[in-house]
Amino acid sequence: MEHLVIIGNGISGITTARHVRKRSNMKITVISKETQYFFSRTALMYIYMGHMKFEHTKPYEDSFWEKNRINLIYSYVTDVDVDTKTVFLEDGRTLQYDKLVIATGSKSNKFGWPGQDLPGVQGFYSYQDVLLLEENTRNIQHAVIVGGGLIGIEMAEMLHTRNIPVTFLVREQYYWDNILPQEEARLVSRHIVEHGMEIRFKTNLKEILPGEDGRVRAVVTEFGEEIPCQLVALTPGVHPNIDLASKTKIATNRGVLVNEYLETNIPDVYACGDCAEIVVEREERHRIEQLWYTGKLQGMALAKTICGERTRYDRGIWFNSAKFLDIEYQTYGFVSNVPREGEESFYWEHPDGKHAIRIVYNTENRAVVGMNFFGIRMRHPVCEQWIKEQKKVEYVVSNLREANFDPEFYTHYEKDILRAFNQMYHTNLTLNQKSQKLFSLFSR
């Protein structure tokens, strides 16, 4: 019987295991030292905030693994010999594999700042980081978050629930404006400040200072300003965890190098999820996709390949969602932070500064290529289909009600958006008949 060994029990590794089990009778072993059981990483913040316990973040009962004959080993892999197909564990045990999956996830970024390894300085990615944060925030008066983005805002929300004052050090002009267009970045920045958090824009960290007890006592900015604090959260993103793979004959660059089938340069060795760097010949830059849903899709595709049905991984239309405190954010397709050649966009923002949309379209054929939504929840399949079918911007604006996911007691903004579009482009569009009926129904 063939033996599949998976290193890592995150969404990618576990999805691979589950779908291999559906398709085959091979022996499956999953190895991880982070936790004994698979959990929802996106729910980590809610454990700290007290909304959930760790056991609530486990999608499956503990008995699921035995019932499905997926063997879990709580241990750390120290080395892999791809010539003899051997995995070495920290306790001295070895495992022989027929097929191996590297799914080791990400690590928090550090950039060599003096003091970055002091007690009281940490990132936020793993379950161990949640436990460490409990220790590091006990009886503290102030925290500094270095870097913006989605991890930074999660950390800020967590600390905010415990009334811990926060100062952001953000190197950009506005929050996350290396990803978001300027209008959306300003919206997010205002919202953070309105929640009582301080942001130092265009400010880089220079060093982290220790106190007499050896723990962090302050940070120093590039301008020489000293900001007292008892916690420094390093949240300038993550990078692929290739610590294990880089010690072997498995090819690595920024991540573990794989082709579109998630195959490495070594036969019977694969990689998926955050740690994988996908080499696509027709694209200029290799892809590293560190999202929950792409990790799941990669695991599903890889399971087919492992079971003999060689399948190319296709992520489909790019999608991401998050929260900026209490403002929900969704993005579909590609929305650049600066306009790309051959593209224009329509942007609408409500006067309350909490709701906004951007629709990016091709200037030649007016086909929509990307959309941002803030404070308005949309239906994923509808938005994805519009981009796939290259619907024109006029069609999308006229049919926004069709994609709105909000229940009937939420405010709807389709008429305001359409009015703004008509004014900007000197058109006379109306809500299509289906959307008009839906709008009337939910506006009663």
* Residue 260 pLDDT exceeds 70: yes
> Tokens 């060689």 sit at which residue?
310
Local structure of residue 342 (DSSP, 8 states): T
Phi/psi for 8 (5° steps) reads: 120, 130
* Residue 440 pLDDT exceeds 60: no
pLDDT digits (tens, 9 = 90+) for 330-339: 999 999 999 9
Contact residues for 273 (Cβ-Cβ < 8 A; gap 6+): 8, 10, 11, 12, 13, 103, 105, 295, 298, 299
> Tokens 């289909």 sit at which residue?
385
Nearest by Cα to 3 from 19, 17, 15: 17
Burial 107-138 (b: 16+ CB within 10 A, else e): bbbeeebebbebebbbbbbbeebbebbeebbe
Segment 298-314 mean pLDDT = 97
H/E stretch holding 84: none
Banded model confidence at residue 444, pLDDT cuts 50, 70, 90: very low
Q: Exposed, middle or buried by CB within 10 Å (0-12, 13-18, 19+), for 54?
A: middle
Contact 183, 357 (CB under 8 A): no
Instruction: Measure the CA–CA gap between 162 and 359, rounded to whole angstroms.
Output: 37
pLDDT digits (tens, 9 = 90+) for 361-375: 999 999 999 999 999
Kind of pairing between the strands at 216-221 and 205-210: antiparallel
* Residue 229 pLDDT exceeds 70: yes
Q: What confidence score (pLDDT) does residue 433 get?
A: 53
pLDDT digits (tens, 9 = 90+) for 78-134: 999 999 999 999 999 999 999 999 999 999 888 999 999 999 999 999 999 999 999
* Residue 282 pLDDT exceeds 90: no
| Mean of all residue pLDDT scores within the chain | 94
Domains, the chain, with CATH or none: 3-107+239-306 (3.50.50.60), 121-236 (3.50.50.60), 319-442 (3.30.390.30)
Say which amino acid occupies 99: K
* Residue 437 pLDDT exceeds 80: no
Q: What confidence score (pLDDT) does residue 333 get?
A: 97
- The CB density around residue 281, as the number of other CB atoms within 10 Å, is 6
Instruction: Measure the CA–CA gap between 145 and 197, rounded to whole angstroms.
Output: 11
pLDDT digits (tens, 9 = 90+) for 48-83: 999 999 999 999 999 999 999 999 999 999 999 999
Q: What confidence score (pLDDT) does residue 434 get?
A: 54
Instruction: Measure the CA–CA gap between 25 and 28, rounded to whole angstroms.
Output: 9
> What are the CA-CA distances from residue 387 to residues 153, 355, 378, 379, 393 (Å)?
29, 22, 14, 13, 10
Banded model confidence at residue 281, pLDDT cuts 50, 70, 90: confident
Angle, in degrees to the nearest 10, between helices 11-23 and 292-306:
30
Nearest by Cα to 229 from 242, 256, 211: 211
Contact 71, 56 (CB under 8 A): no
pLDDT digits (tens, 9 = 90+) for 384-421: 999 999 999 999 999 999 999 876 667 889 999 999 99
User: Which two three-digit tokens encode residue 311?
Assistant: 């399948």
Q: What confidence score (pLDDT) does residue 407 get?
A: 64
> Tokens 């205002």 sit at which residue?
190
Instruction: Measure the CA–CA gap between 203 and 206, rounded to whole angstroms.
Output: 9
> Tokens 């932070």 sit at which residue?
337
* Residue 436 pLDDT exceeds 70: no
User: Which two three-digit tokens encode residue 176?
Assistant: 């996350």
Percent of the chain with pLDDT over 70: 96
Banded model confidence at residue 441, pLDDT cuts 50, 70, 90: very low
Return the CA Rg of the chain: 24
Banded model confidence at residue 237, pLDDT cuts 50, 70, 90: confident
Burial 396-424 (b: 16+ CB within 10 A, else e): bbbbbbbbbebeeeeebbbeebbebbeee
Say which amino acid occupies 187: L
Instruction: Measure the CA–CA gap between 40 and 29, rounded to whole angstroms.
Output: 20
Instruction: Measure the CA–CA gap between 272 and 15, rounded to whole angstroms.
Output: 10
